[in-house]
Structures are given as structure tokens and as C-alpha cells.
Structure 1
Amino acid sequence: MRTTRHILARSALAVAIASGGIVALAAPQTAVFAAAPPSPTTPLKLKSLTITGNQQVSTADILAAVPFHEGDTVTRNQIDAGAQDVMAVYQKKNVGLKFGEKLKFLGNAVQVQWIIEEQAPQAAAPAAALVVDQIVFQGNKQISSDALTAATKLRPGSPVDQDAVMADQKAVQAVYQKKNIGVAIQVVPSQPNHDNHVILTYQITEKSGD
């Protein structure tokens, strides 16, 4: 049984918020399986982990950021988190990418292939302090906004940078993982007043649990 998904990490704010250095990232989308896959928490032996297409970021750098290796026991949740770790590596190196993943389940084992298409490095953004003006959660029906707010650290008035946004995005994903609910999350920053204040909108697409 094999499934494929694609993730696009892009500089969505190249014009509106170039000075802030925040890159909007599309979170991993829940794959559509031909048959029921293992649950997100089922232990699976990682039979193979292959990475192709990476040139500007070395395989060693990618693997160093991922907390599992071939032969380890992993879950689908951990594989999802590993994909986020790969995106974080590219984000820190200021390199855009299109990220594809293929999973093949073989009984209690899994083969993982990550396919990377790199984009040209983004121009280094000048240092500028951005401040959170408002945080908005959209599409969350199974988990309240209060619960998601409690799991994150950024608040109105907080200084914000790319790392802080990524950390909170992963924190929101972790809340859904604990509830065994599949989710796709995209954090979209905007500056309606064109000043150093930014609105962070979490666009959440909830999936049915396994």
C-alpha cells in the first residue's frame, strides 16, 4: 500500500512582509489512502528512509534534524513531525522547496521516501522587529480556539520571527495528534496596516480520525 503527498514551502510574503523574514509554510496534508492505513500511533519499523532531489541542503543536514533513522520504530505521527523538521531546515537556510513524500506500508513496517524540489535561495531579509497584533484560528471545529491558544506561546504584543511561528505551528499540530485527529495547518501572516504589526491566521483543515 503506497501513498503520496506534496508539501509546498514558499515565501508567500515576499512582497507584503519581506522585512519580517516570515515564510508561510503549508503543513503536511492528510493523504488519501486506497485502504485503511495504520493508525497515527501504530508502531512501525522504519525499513528505509530515502531522500532525493536535495542539492543546496545536504542529506546529512536533513537526517541530523530528524529524530529517527532506518531500523527505528516510528509512528505516522512521528513521520509527519519529521517532515516538519525537514521544512524547518530549509526555512533556516532560506531555501524554498516543494516537498513530496511516498509511504509504503508492509505489514508492521514502512518505507519512507522524501522527494525534494529546491527553489532558488531567498534574498536575506533585513532585520526588522515584527509584533503580533492578533492571532486568529479558522476551521477548528473539534478543538476550541482556547485550547489551541493555551498550547502556543505567541500572544498579541509578542515579538515574532520565523522560528516562533514554526514552533507554534508544530504545537498546534501536536494538540491534534494527541486527540488522534488528522489536520492540515497553514499559518498565514498579514500586515493590513503596512506597519511592523502582523496578524497570524491559522488556516486549519480537520480530517476525520482513523
Structure 2
Amino acid sequence: MKPTSRFAFAGLALVAGTALLPVSATTGFTGAAFAASAPAPDAPLKLKVLKVQGNKAIPTADIMAALPYHVGDTVTRETLDAGVQKVAELYKAKNMGAKFSEKERFVKNTVQFYLVIEEQEPSAAPAPAPFVLDKVVFTGNRKVPTSELEAATSLRPGATVTAAAASADAAAIQKVYQKHNLGVQIQPVATQPNHDNHVVLTYQITEK
């Protein structure tokens, strides 16, 4: 009978996995004004042009929806900055990092506003620590002595435990039972008694 290879413990299934950590959106802005002198921060201006550049992960429509102003509205430099803050909050809510810069062009009492976004790639989490074997336990084997099973398997205390290694040893146990013309079901179960990366590997054996 084919051995069962379910690994009923927290963590081992993550040996080959990685996780993405959210990167908080940067809220510092830089601005460039295309005029010899910019108007006062609270001077009313008619928004003539509003464009978003550099965004890829978040659609422009979503960014425009987050901005509290549209072309044709009366704004100030302060309200333009406040709108960029809203976009930063949108990126933060989506666990994405970004840097923002503003480009403004003033013509009389109008402003052309360009929001340039530099999105940041999420960083990968460091690889988890390998699982270290503290002990191997065999349970349920009444017809085959433990010493024979220990001789057939390869994992020893201090070794790195992987799902593949545990499955290979389960297959080796099955071959021992086949040699004795006995049926068997084998279930490797790993536990972490100390809640760290050290595990106890138990082969639960059901003889047929």
C-alpha cells in the first residue's frame, strides 16, 4: 500500500515558500514649478491640466477617483498637496510602496498639475530557517522491530528536515514491510515542541 505523506505540522509546508512583506507608501513629496515665481500656497487657481504618470500597479482611474479635485475646479497649492496625500493613502491601503513628485506649471491664474509616481517593488521575505531534526519516533510497528526501521531510514537527529526527505524515509519503511510480505500505511507527522525550527518526526504506522 502506498504510504500516506501528509505532513501534519505547522511550518514544514513552508520550507519552499516565501512571503511578501507590505511596503508602506512614502509620503514625502517633491515638487517642481515651471514658473519664475509660484503663487502663494493659498492663492486660488483654476486647474487646467491634471495628469498622472508612472503608475502601473494601480489604474489611473482609481488614482483620479482618490484625488478630491478635477480639471476645471478651483484649487490651491495646498489642496493639490492634500490630494497627493490621498493617493499615498491609496497605495498604503493596497500594501504598495511609492514615491511621489509634483510638477506644476502656472499660467496667470491657472495651474497645470502633473503627479509623477515611482512605484516600489515589494521586497521578498528572507527564507525561513531550515527545520532541524531533534528526534525520530516510530509508533504502531508491532510486527517489525524499531531497530530495523531505523536502519532502513536516513534521517538522523541534527539533519535538516524536508518534505522530500521524510517521504523518502516513509518509502523506505514501506519497502521493509514489503520484504516481510506485510501491508502498511505510513503517515509522517512532524511537531515543534518548543515552537522553534526544531522538530520531532513521528512515523505513525498502521500495519495491515
Task: Report TM bin, short chain.
Answer: 0.3 to 0.5
TM-score, normalising length: structure 1: 0.44
State which structure, 1 or 2, has the greater radius of gyration over its C-alpha atoms. 2
